[in-house]
């Protein structure tokens, strides 16, 4: 039987504000009750649930996000029965030190990194370094997008898309980590989609491997 995933979303709350702003804003308490009902429904039917925590390293509206707030949201989601939680650096401001501290704090909750995934945007070019810190802590699940496509609609014009899949796979293969992905085919896919969209790839590997190819 094909495995089914039910996706849930959570928001980070600070003492003053929540990301994202109105009209997308929903108070974290209200979100919590809605998410809990969905998770209970899914778990009763053995449907795996994946949660997302956004703005774990910084918020476009409140700025700094306290690690304590991130840990509280993650902990509540685990208590709800969410099996896998993707920690999102939505505006791409995170640093390796931040990620290392965050992951260590999250691992301390369950005693294992198996429930953690990382979702890194590459606005400031630190996503690969952040992913590497994740690997150091035992995280093995990373969100990425071909050619670095995407972005965040409420994070301002400077926030770029997810880290490019090509760049992540190149790094992992160079480290001897098996990904099951064909790098050349990823580069070709990135080339095709960016040509269709009329934009340049954000993948450094895509640019390097695609140079001179027609």
Half-sphere exposure of residue 205, counting CA atoms within 13 Å on the CB side? 24
C-alpha 51/C-alpha 193 separation (Å) is 28
CB atoms within 10 A of CB 211: 7
Is residue 149 a contact partner of residue 202, using CB atoms and an 8 Å limit?
yes
Q: Is 120 a catalytic residue?
A: no
> Parallel, antiparallel, or unpaired: how do β-strands 142-143 and 49-53 relate?
unpaired
Three-class SS of residue 26?
coil
CB atoms within 10 A of CB 39: 20
Q: What does residue 98 show for φ and ψ, rounded to 5 degrees?
A: -60, -45
CB atoms within 10 A of CB 105: 15
Tell me the catalytic residues. 152
């Amino acid at each position: 039987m094909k495995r089914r995933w039910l996706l849930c979303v959570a928001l980070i709350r600070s003492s003053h504000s929540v990301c994202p702003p109105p009209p997308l804003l929903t108070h974290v308490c209200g979100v919590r009750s809605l998410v809990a009902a969905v998770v209970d429904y899914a778990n009763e039917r053995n449907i795996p649930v994946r949660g997302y925590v956004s703005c774990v390293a910084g918020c476009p509206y409140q700025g700094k996000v306290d690690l304590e707030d991130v840990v509280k949201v993650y902990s509540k989601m685990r208590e709800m029965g969410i099996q896998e939680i993707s920690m999102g650096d939505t505006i791409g401001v995170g640093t390796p030190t931040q990620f290392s501290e965050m992951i260590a704090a999250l691992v301390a909750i369950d005693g294992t990194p198996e429930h953690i995934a990382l979702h890194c945007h590459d606005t400031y070019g630190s996503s690969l370094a952040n992913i590497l810190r994740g690997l150091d802590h035992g995280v093995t699940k990373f969100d990425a997008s071909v050619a670095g496509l995407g972005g965040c609609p409420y994070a301002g014009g400077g926030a770029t898309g997810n880290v490019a899949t090509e760049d992540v796979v190149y790094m992992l293969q160079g480290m001897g980590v098996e990904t099951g992905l064909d790098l050349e085919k990823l580069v070709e896919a990135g080339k095709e989609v960016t040509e269709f969209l009329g934009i340049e790839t954000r993948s450094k590997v895509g640019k390097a491997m695609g140079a001179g190819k027609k």
